[in-house]
């Protein structure tokens, strides 16, 4: 017999209480109502060398009918390392269908970090490059699932201790790029809270030209000093995978405490993969400026 919504909700409550007691301060409740959590995982307790933040959202059907939505956040986690770890988590989910799996995921990640600590040099090898990624970015997007379709609604579940009247950060507008009648323009603002992200987006959408754009793709990364992890998210706004690519670019460039929005006005001619090149170039240019 399938589990009822009430039973699933109770299973989630029990699992969260257990994880909170096991991991203590490393376990963080981002939003209780929307079931958003993150946990800082490291290879050891004393002077950890490898650290990663696992961010999860528990959908209503978890654990019996739906997997958790998750992100793996670490500046060194890229390419093959990212793909292999994501595949390991998928495998654990498949092997334990219908069961609570967050503890298994956390310990699997810790196992990987311990192996890296034992087999590597004194410092993590963080690859920093500004070269365009020529592939389709599917490796990075393996585990990313859009949380909300409505851009402003997406940020309503993110909480912040900042006051409602928090100051609007300055917004910088980059130089537009035009190709075959499509125009791309990036906008950037320094942000340290998700409330500031929301305020900047609201301010941008007050501009009729920006609000009328075919797509307003964005990504942000905020460094949480107390947890030494990143709070980050992105939005495609109908341009499939564009938000994830933009966030990936920001990770490669190792930028933080910033929101980047790229507006695209479609000119009627399909650009194919070139549209992603223009989105990334706009974003890179505004970051450099």
pLDDT tens per residue, range 128-161: 332 223 333 333 332 333 333 344 544 554 434 4
pLDDT of residue 121: 56
Decide if pLDDT at 224 tops 90.
no
Structure letter (DSSP) for residue 24: G
Question: Please, are residues 177 and 183 in contact by the beta-carbon 8 Å criterion?
Answer: yes
How far is residue 213's CA from residue 211's CA, in Å, rounded to a whole number? 6
> In sequence order, what are the residues at sequence separation of 6 or more whose Cβ sits closer than 8 angstroms to the Cβ of residue 146?
235, 236
Mean pLDDT of the chain: 79
* In the chain, domain spans: 5-118, 172-288
Q: How are beta strands 69-73 and 229-235 bridged, if at all? A: unpaired
pLDDT of residue 15: 86
Decide if pLDDT at 176 tops 70.
yes
What value does the mean pLDDT take over residues 191-195? Answer: 90
CATH placement of domain 172-288: 3.30.230.30
pLDDT of residue 191: 93
Q: How many residues does the chain have?
A: 289
pLDDT of residue 78: 76
- The residue written with tokens 């974003």 in the block is 283
Output the pTM of the full model. 0.47
pLDDT of residue 49: 81
Q: Alpha helices of the chain — where are they, by DSSP H?
A: 5-23, 79-95, 102-119, 138-141, 151-156, 194-205, 208-211, 242-252, 274-288
Decide if pLDDT at 108 tops 50.
yes
pLDDT of residue 241: 80
CATH 3.40.640.10 holds for 5-118: no
Residue pLDDT, tens place only, 254-272 = 788 999 999 999 888 888 8
Quote the tokens at residue 253.
């460039």
Q: How far is CA 53 from the centre of its chain?
A: 11
Decide if pLDDT at 185 tops 90.
yes
């Amino acid at each position: 017999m399938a589990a009822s919504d009430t039973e699933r909700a109770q299973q989630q409550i029990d699992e969260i209480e257990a994880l909170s007691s096991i991991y203590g301060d490393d376990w963080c409740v981002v939003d209780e109502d929307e079931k958003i959590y993150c946990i800082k995982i490291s290879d050891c307790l004393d002077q950890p060398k490898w650290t990663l933040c696992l961010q999860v959202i528990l959908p209503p059907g978890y654990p019996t009918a739906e997997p958790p939505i998750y992100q793996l956040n670490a500046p060194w986690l890229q390419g093959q390392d990212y793909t292999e770890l994501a595949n390991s988590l998928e495998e654990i989910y498949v092997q334990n269908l219908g069961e609570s799996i967050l503890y298994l995921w956390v310990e699997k990640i810790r196992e990987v970090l311990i192996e890296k600590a034992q087999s590597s040099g004194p410092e993590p090898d963080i690859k920093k490059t500004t070269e365009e990624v020529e592939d389709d970015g599917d490796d990075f997007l393996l585990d990313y699932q859009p949380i909300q379709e409505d851009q402003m609604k997406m940020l309503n579940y993110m909480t912040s201790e900042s006051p409602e009247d928090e100051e609007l950060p300055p917004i910088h507008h980059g130089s537009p790029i035009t190709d075959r009648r499509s125009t791309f323009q990036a906008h950037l603002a320094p942000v340290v809270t998700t409330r500031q992200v929301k305020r900047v987006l609201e301010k941008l959408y007050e501009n009729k030209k920006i609000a009328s754009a075919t797509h307003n793709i964005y990504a942000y990364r905020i460094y949480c000093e107390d947890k030494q992890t990143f709070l980050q998210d992105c939005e495609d706004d109908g341009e499939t995978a564009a938000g994830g690519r933009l966030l990936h670019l920001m990770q490669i460039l190792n930028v933080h405490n910033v929101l980047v929005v790229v507006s695209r006005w479609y000119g009627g001619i399909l650009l194919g993969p070139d549209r992603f090149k223009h989105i990334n170039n706009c974003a890179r240019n505004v970051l450099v400026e």
